[in-house]
Amino acid sequence: MNQDEPAALRAAQYILRGYHGLVTEDFREYLKRWIPLSLMIGIFSGLGAMAFQWLLMGIWHTSYEAAGMPWYVRLFLPAAGGLLAGLIISKLSPESGGGGTGHVIEAIHHRGGSVSPRSGIFKIVTSALTIGTGGSGGREGPIMHIGAAVASFFGGKLKLRKGDLRTFAIAGAAAGLSAVFRAPLGAAIYAIEVPYKNDLEPGAAIPSMIASVVSYLVFVSFNGYEPLFKAPDMVMDLNLLIVLAIVLLGAAIGLAGRLFIVTMRATERLTARSKLPVATKIMYGGLLVGCLGLFVPEVLGLAENEIAMLIDGSITSIWFLIVLFLAKMIATCFTVGSGGSGGVFFPSLMMGGALGTAFASLLGLSPLPLFAIAGMGAMMSGVSKTPIAASVLMAEVVGGYTVLIPVMLASVVAYMVTGDQTLFRNQVARRPFLYDPAALDGVPVEKVMRGDPITLSYGMSVADARKGIDAEPHYLYPVVDAGGRVLGVVLREQLEGHADPEAAVGSLLVRHFERVKAGTSAYQAFEDMNSKQISRMLVVGHDGEILLGVLTRIDLMEYLEHRDEEHRLY
């Protein structure tokens, strides 16, 4: 570099050279793959959210805003909607039943992120029928299912690897959630947080954020930019008394969350034991909700107006607030626990808001809206194990980050009080591996295996076999014939414990063993090891007979570690 050049020019050249080094081939490939696909998923998830919203509100207005509708019609509306949704679920799309969030989590952990695109279409219909006719459920589960189905559709068309499809399922779920809640940041965080009880999926963060923002922009372009709810202006003094009250509220909400989870589990068990058809179970769940709605109509459907009133501080009767909490909890268990299609986010908002307001009213604390919003975030955090997302989502949903600190505090306490209890059965504690096993997809097993394993022959003596295996103490050893064909395996403990050292190895032969053919994806072998709870497999040729090597779980982990050192994940 010419030292006479201006310092600013030299600095600019230095930065450009650094940037050129940063944009490696891996990073360019990342940009080419993730950004366009995330944009596409965001656009179509936003459109899917609009279709779902339009159908849901159309059914709701037809069902509950018609003048002069007799009480007995309103009694049976949730049952009728549940029956229609149940018939679709049982006859056409079993995947479209239930909350939706659990189905997405199941797909992320056990199906490589694959969610049937067909089920996404049916999910729009079944959820709109269930909630629109008065079933107590939320939009977040259905819309996450729909967004993940959109991602799977495009992922299938583009023939993406399982690891990429898994990331896109999370991004699709974030995009759907972002649109209906108008909370792009909170939705992205929720999507990467909800698969785990105490972990995140960092590899999906950037695609989720891109898809979430795009979906949000598509939705609000047609529906307005206002937040979902509007918190009133509040003068907050976070003194020691208020902080202690928020902590106590978080603990109370955590206990209430445990009650909600236990009640939901009991309902699900009773439903599973029943021999009635699926549609009939959902119908009876709707009928019970209809009966409850005659006395407490506020529990029907999304209950957006009632949630807005809680946020506004308009509901102050302590007894009514307690009744509202209990009734909403029971109605939600009847709806979702019986197999109906609906989420638990909106019910959590009402339950947490009702308890938060009742708590503040009982102790004479103010402002009431602050405790209502903190209670909503705490309930969501406790029952879904998403303390980070709950805090950010509530701040975005009510249009003000002034509530962030109280909601964070209450959410963390509720999260701890609920412990490992969660509404989503498929949540796991944390990511099982430091490295993403999806990187094994498309890698043939022969590239990862050990190609020179210790082998034994059928006629070899036990004494000679013991000498041969001393160098490498493994769990088992393959036995091959002169042509290299696998005859079976011998366990190390059998060799070491056999009384006759002159006995032939063939007398200890185990003919049942796990094998994988050459050309099989290492990711598939990894999945098979997990499902069968084994730690090694024999790699054989395409004929299934000739031994090529041995594949162990350690080999897979070492390959992932080496791959991570060569190609940094962006």
Q: Band the pLDDT of 561: cuts 50, 70, 90.
A: confident
Q: What percent of the chain has pLDDT over 90?
A: 43
**Closest listed residue to residue 354, CA positions, set 378, 320, 321, 331:** 321
- Top-confidence residue, 439 or 538: 538
* Interatomic CA distance for residues 243 and 247, integer angstroms: 6
Tell me the mean pLDDT in the region 41-49: 92
* Interatomic CA distance for residues 117 and 88, integer angstroms: 16
> Is a pLDDT exceeding 70 seen at residue 433?
no
Q: Where do the domains of the chain lie, and which CATH numbers do they carry? A: 22-223 (1.10.3080.10), 240-418 (1.10.3080.10), 437-566 (3.10.580.10)
* Interatomic CA distance for residues 473 and 521, integer angstroms: 27
The pLDDT tens digits of the residues spanning 250-269 come to 999 999 999 999 999 999 99
* Interatomic CA distance for residues 377 and 402, integer angstroms: 14
The pLDDT tens digits of the residues spanning 462-499 come to 888 888 777 777 778 888 888 888 888 888 888 888 88
Placement of tokens 């307005």 in the chain? 224
Cβ atoms of 178 and 377 closer than 8 Å: no
- Top-confidence residue, 302 or 11: 302
**Closest listed residue to residue 288, CA positions, set 110, 134, 150, 455:** 134
Tell me the mean pLDDT in the region 504-518: 85
Helix (H), strand (E) at residue 456: strand 456-457
3-state DSSP call for residue 488? strand
In eight-state DSSP terms, residue 267 is: H
* Interatomic CA distance for residues 303 and 305, integer angstroms: 6
pLDDT score, position 16: 46
> Is a pLDDT exceeding 90 seen at residue 363?
yes
Strand order in the sheet with 515-517: 515-517, 536-540, 547-552
The pLDDT tens digits of the residues spanning 97-113 come to 888 888 888 888 878 78
**Closest listed residue to residue 229, CA positions, set 373, 344, 328, 357:** 373
pLDDT score, position 259: 96
